[in-house]
Amino acid sequence: MHLTLKQLQIFEAVALRRSYTQAAKEMFMTQPAVSMQIKQMEGSIGLPLLDRTGRQVTLTEAGEELLHYAAVIRQQLDEAELVLDELKGLKRGRLHLTMASTANYFAPHLLATFHHEYPGAKMSLDVTNRAGLLKALDDNSTDIAIMGRPPKGHNFVGIPFMPNPLVVVAWPDHPLAKRKKIALSEVANEPFIVRERDSGTRIATDRFFAEHELELNAGMEMNRSEAIKQAVEAELGLGIVSLHTLEMELALKKICVLDVEDFPIMRHWYIVHPKGKRFSALASAFTEFVKNEAEALLEIPEY
């Protein structure tokens, strides 16, 4: 079997995009040229890699296996490039970060400060939900994730770097807004707008109420904290969100934080990466920067 690196790149583009047309655009090639390279690969391997029915492109079993190895080879080449750059004494590199959507409220400020110290660095950022974070880490397609506590059963390293308090929020005219020391059992009877079930916030909230032998009165589900805040402002129910997301709403008095017993739920933000991952100097520097500087740089809103 003889395959070139270029062919592997073309195959990976088609496999990930599930489209010859999109792969051709990404590789700056014509679609017939992409199709020809795939056929040459299949001839060399002796097995079909892609099944093309109409406009739908799917991977065969052989294609699934080759896609895994193509990703590994690409990652190894990226690591080699970073190591060689460091041997040249270059203060540059690439850093791919993936973060929870809630972290997007504070992470840009963190990245901007870090970039001042490493202006030659090229950084890319993906914002996704918890399922997307875990997939990126499992696939080793990101250098570092910023998220809540990583789940057990995954081969990850999690480093806590900053508190992430979850609070109960309501609109300012809610009957409970002026109350002090509100019983958790009373709040549990109120309708809540909640995150989707596999989000870190929802998992922590459900666990918290279960530990107090109560059940959260979950009404509508939203997949973004921003949507929950807007629903609370519209008086559709209470919400439980990270205090980090509330700076603007608290300043404008669009939302208030309720004084509920045993709240806030105290979580932490984590830097997470696959165990055993070889870091570039830039990724190591970013990790140390976040561990040492994040809490001092980022203020938690007061309420």
Domain positions in the chain: 5-74, 92-162+268-297, 164-267
281 contacts: CB under 8 Å, gap ≥ 6: 82, 86, 93
pLDDT confidence tier of residue 282, bands split at 50, 70 and 90: confident
pLDDT tens, position by position, 244-272: 899 899 999 999 999 999 999 999 999 99
Q: Considering the domain 164-267, what is its CATH architecture?
A: 3-Layer(aba) Sandwich (3.40)
Residues forming a β-bridge with 165 = 266
pLDDT tens, position by position, 81-104: 777 766 555 456 788 999 988 888
Using CB atoms within 10 A of its CB, is residue 135 exposed (0-12), middle (13-18) or buried (19+)? Answer: middle
Across the chain, what does the average pLDDT equal?
A: 89
Cα–Cα dist 49/107, whole Å: 40
Q: Is 5-74 CATH 3.30.565.10?
A: no
Residue 190 has pLDDT above 60, yes or no: yes
Which residues of the chain form beta strands (DSSP E)? 50-53, 56-59, 93-100, 121-128, 144-147, 156-170, 192-195, 218-222, 238-242, 256-257, 265-274
246 contacts: CB under 8 Å, gap ≥ 6: 167, 169, 229, 255, 257, 301, 303
Domain 5-74 matches domain 92-162+268-297 at the CATH topology level: no
> Taking the model in full, what pTM does it have?
0.66
Q: Is 92-162+268-297 CATH 3.40.190.10?
A: yes
DSSP 240-281: EEEGGG-HHHHHTTS-EE--BTTPSEEEEEEEEEETTPPPPH
Helix axes 281-297, 61-87, angle to 10 degrees: 80
Give the pLDDT of residue 104: 85
Q: Which of 98-102, 119-123, 175-179, 202-206 has the lowest mean pLDDT?
A: 119-123
SS3 category, 4? coil
pLDDT tens, position by position, 113-160: 998 888 878 888 999 988 899 999 988 889 999 998 888 878 899 999
